[in-house]
Chains A and B, each alone.
Chain A
Amino acid sequence: MTLNLCVLTPNRMIWDSEVKEIILSTNSGQIGVLPNHAPIATAVDIGLLRIRRNGQWLTVALMGGFARISNNEITILGNDAEISTDIDPQEAKQTLEIAEANLSRAEGKRQAIESNLALRRARTRVEAVNVISY
């Protein structure tokens, strides 16, 4: 039994194939999804989406969105998503440093919130590259 996973963003389709298991992070924690999961609809937080296929784990940095799971079909709609192999580690680190600098310089509530979000996004990308696949 396998799951049919489809990861979509407004710009393009990131993933469309069969997988064995996924781990996605919602705003109440991480949930693992195996075949024959109960149907759920949930919001996905800015974080990592881990996919197990052929015994190997792949990581996708997901910037928030929605997930719908039913009948072994998973559809994840994200605002933006990047597969970890597509991320350049140096560039991700630089973006993280810029985001941290922006956060310390942020004035006012709105800027603080925005730079916080940018920091989380940058951190997710760096984590995606650094995660150890087992």
Chain B
Amino acid sequence: MAMAALRREGRRFLLPTASSAPTIAARSAISNEESCLFGVRSISTQIVRNRMKSVKNIQKITKAMKMVAASKLRGVQIRTEASRGVWQPFIALLGDSPSIDVKKNVIVTVSSDKGLCGGINSTSVKVSKALFKVYSGPEKEPKYVILGEKGKAQLVRDSKDHIMLSVSELQKNPVNYTQVSVLADDILKNVEFDALRVVYNKFRSIVLFIPTVSTILSPETIEKESEAGGSLGDLDLYEIEGGETKSEVLQNLTEFQFSCVMFNAVLENACSELGARMSAMDSSSRNAGEMLDRLTLAYNRTRQASITTELIEIISGASALEG
């Protein structure tokens, strides 16, 4: 039983004098012997103290991470709200038809690079996988474009061949429109698509993030749809100024729409990531605090128990001498 206790307590139990008479060693040594002799009635104060120290460190670190995320969130939130207005005119002009059925779907998943941000990356990946199932069919096979390390790590496991392009370290410098438009350009050049589905977490509030899918159709699809009538049929009411053909204008329009929607998606996801990190670190530091309370109680109990035993020994020794 002593050996089991030794193994359980873990490190630094090379006390050879475990079973000899208690000497004037450190109290911790006595406690160690105690635990070796009596099993796991009392945990050594040394161990509890070490555990308390590490839990306290964790609490400090997570609290600091929460404050960092909170301060970053403020700046990003302003920019996100400012960028929300820019994709609405596109919807007003081109309509929004998420249920459109096309052959070549490309799913663009926006995720974060760093971890410790709650469940947002898992939700994004879940939605992407669900979309993949929805759009798979006899002749059509959707492809992935992944932004961010965490999404890549999760999707590479089972959909490795379907990933066309993956980008990381998007957030190294504060996101700006030029960078995102270059990225959008890259994607448009390298990927054939009839419809692009951008999956990201929309930032509703610090505690609420909604996984969203934004659909962007390719110019050919839009032309087909507008000829077929429906919500996109109003497009023909507009005269095209400037000596370009309708398809050129549509191409420009969809490219611009894609880069605007990407910009908004990246910003919203960044906001959601910071908000999720804030709440994750907050609950983590609260947890650490509770653990610390429990450990403090255990520590005090152990300390008092060892004092009591020492007193008992002294007193019984003294009374043995007298009597």
Complex CA distance for A9 and B259, rounded to whole angstroms: 12
Q: Is the CB of B89 within 8 A of A8?
A: yes
Q: Which of B6-14, B51-59, B80-88, B149-157 contacts A (4 or more CB under 8 A)?
A: B80-88
Q: Which of A64-72, A101-109, A124-132 contacts B (4 or more CB under 8 A)?
A: A64-72
Complex CA distance for A74 and B92, rounded to whole angstroms: 12
Annotate B177-194 by CB proximity to A: 1 below 8 A, 0 otherwise: 100110000000000000
A28 CB within 8 Å of chain B: yes
Q: Is the CB of B79 within 8 A of A11?
A: yes
Q: How large is the interface on B (under 10, 10 to 19, 20 to 34, 35 or more residues)?
A: 20 to 34
Contact A40 to B238, CB < 8 A, known contacts A8-B89, A10-B260, A66-B253 = yes
A116 CB within 8 Å of chain B: no
Contact A10 to B242, CB < 8 A, known contacts A75-B89, A77-B89 = no
B228 CB within 8 Å of chain A: no
The B contact surface, by secondary structure, is helix
B244 CB within 8 Å of chain A: yes
Q: Is the CB of A77 within 8 A of B260?
A: yes
Give the total number of A-B pairs whose CB atoms are below 8 A apart. 76
Annotate A9-36 by CB proximity to B: 1 below 8 A, 0 otherwise: 1111100000000000011100100000
Contacts of A98 in B (CB 8 A): none
CB distance from A112 to the nearest CB of B (A): 18
Q: Is the CB of B82 within 8 A of A31?
A: no
Nearest chain B residue, comparing its CB with the CB of A80:
B177
Annotate B237-250 by CB proximity to A: 1 below 8 A, 0 otherwise: 11111111000010
Q: Is the CB of A39 within 8 A of B237?
A: yes
The A contact surface, by secondary structure, is strand
A113 CB within 8 Å of chain B: no
Q: Is the CB of A10 within 8 A of B241?
A: no
CB distance from B99 to the nearest CB of A (A): 25
Say which residue of B180, B237, B241 sits within 8 Å of A42 (CB atoms): B241
Q: Is the CB of B260 within 8 A of A40?
A: no
Complex CA distance for A77 and B263, rounded to whole angstroms: 14
Contacts of B239 in A (CB 8 A): 38-41
Say which residue of B86, B249, B260 sits within 8 Å of A41 (CB atoms): B249
Complex CA distance for A123 and B203, rounded to whole angstroms: 38
Complex CA distance for A12 and B80, rounded to whole angstroms: 9
Q: How many residues of A contact B (CB 8 A)?
A: 25
Contacts of B242 in A (CB 8 A): 26-28, 42-43
Say which residue of A8, A26, A38, A70 sits within 8 Å of B85 (CB atoms): A8
Q: Give chain A interface residues in 69-91, CB to chain B under 8 Å.
A: 70, 75, 77, 79-80
Annotate B297-311 by CB proximity to A: 1 below 8 A, 0 otherwise: 000000000000000
Nearest chain A residue, comparing its CB with the CB of B261:
A10
CB distance from A98 to the nearest CB of B (A): 17
Contacts of B180 in A (CB 8 A): 10
Q: Is the CB of A40 within 8 A of B240?
A: yes
Say which residue of A13, A27, A41 sits within 8 Å of B82 (CB atoms): A13
Complex CA distance for A70 and B236, rounded to whole angstroms: 12
Complex CA distance for A41 and B237, rounded to whole angstroms: 9
Complex CA distance for A77 and B88, rounded to whole angstroms: 10
Contacts of B315 in A (CB 8 A): none
CB distance from A101 to the nearest CB of B (A): 21
Nearest chain B residue, comparing its CB with the CB of A16:
B85
Q: Is the CB of A31 within 8 A of B89?
A: no
Annotate A28-63 by CB proximity to B: 1 below 8 A, 0 otherwise: 100100000011111100000000000000000000
Of A40, A66, A77, the most chain B CB neighbours within 10 A belong to A77
A–B pairs, 21, beta carbons within 8 Å = A9-B86, A10-B83, A10-B86, A10-B177, A12-B82, A13-B82, A27-B243, A27-B244, A28-B241, A28-B243, A38-B239, A39-B237, A39-B238, A41-B235, A41-B239, A42-B241, A42-B242, A43-B244, A66-B253, A68-B93, A77-B256
B residues lining the A interface (CB < 8 Å): 79, 82-83, 85-86, 89-90, 92-93, 176-177, 180-181, 235, 237-244, 249, 252-253, 256, 259-260, 263-264
A residues lining the B interface (CB < 8 Å): 6, 8-13, 26-28, 31, 38-43, 65-66, 68, 70, 75, 77, 79-80
